[in-house]
Amino acid sequence: MDFLIVTGMSGAGKSNAADCLEDVGYYCVDNIPPMLIPSFVELSKRTNNEINKIAIVTDIRGGELFKDIEKVVEQMKNSGTKFKILFLDASTEELLRRYKENRRSHPLSTSQNLTIDEAIASERATLKSVRNIADYIIDTTHISANNLKEQIINIFLENAAGSLKVQCMSFGFKYGPVSDADLVFDVRCLPNPFYIDNLRALTGLDEAVSSYVMGFEESKQTFSKISDLIDYMLPLYFSEGKSRLVIAFGCTGGKHRSVTFAEGLAKHLKEKGSNVHINHRDINRA
């Protein structure tokens, strides 16, 4: 049986993640206090053979009961229960924006009489140790609900098949870094199509832009060295048991050089038989 513990920051998208997990075949249970998780796991094993994938959402809404999460995780490991932890995160600034937008109260604002800023800081401190041991971390700061669903599907459908899912993504440094990336390559050192009048409005998906970027010897050498490094490291990640690897390329705006490199590496890895997904985070920004 496949058990997944879903936790993370309030407002980071756990409810959306649970909906997505249901779409890929998980039986989802929301807001279970950590101390009840082992009992629920054992009950699930004994009573229903038709359910083979279960996702349990537990978080700060449990109040004092949630502080048992580390003890429970250790207990489950010692008992031999196989499980994974999915952690949903977002920047403090984005969480504040979401709370102001939907006018909902943070769980700690009510229970501990804190401001939203104080509640987020307190929750982040409480969850720090859990985040450190999570198997999957998804930062939803810059992604939509649809993009979250796409990431959930890519992680957990492929994880069921036991393969390493590689995500090649592009982003713009001026819009912020990619906090859930495993490997980040800065390609701002390469010639920039933005300064070519007939290329500025295009993207790395256009042949004219990709040909321009890869028309320079330094670009070819950079791509060759990066692809050689990834070819060497992928088997190591797979042997270590990693299910998902995020490789991010960043340029200034996330439209030209980073897109070209992300597309190029994805094509290279697909030709070698890797399971690859492409995500261009900032390609449609002004």
Q: How far is CA 162 from the centre of its chain?
A: 18
- Extract the runs of DSSP E, i.e. beta strands, from 93-174: 136-139, 165-172
In the chain, what are the domains? 2-160 (3.40.50.300), 165-280 (no CATH)
Task: State the pLDDT at residue 201.
Answer: 96
Residue 120: partners with Cβ closer than 8 Å, 6 or more residues away: 9, 10, 92, 95, 96, 106
Report yes or no: 265 and 169 within 8 Å, Cβ to Cβ: no
Task: State the pLDDT at residue 162.
Answer: 40
Instruction: Supply the DSSP symbol for 104.
Output: P
Low-confidence ranges of the chain (pLDDT < 50): 159-162
Task: State the pLDDT at residue 113.
Answer: 84
* CA neighbours closer than 13 Å in the CB half-sphere of residue 130: 28
> Does residue 205 come out as left (phi exceeding 0), alpha (psi in the -120 to 50 range) or beta?
alpha
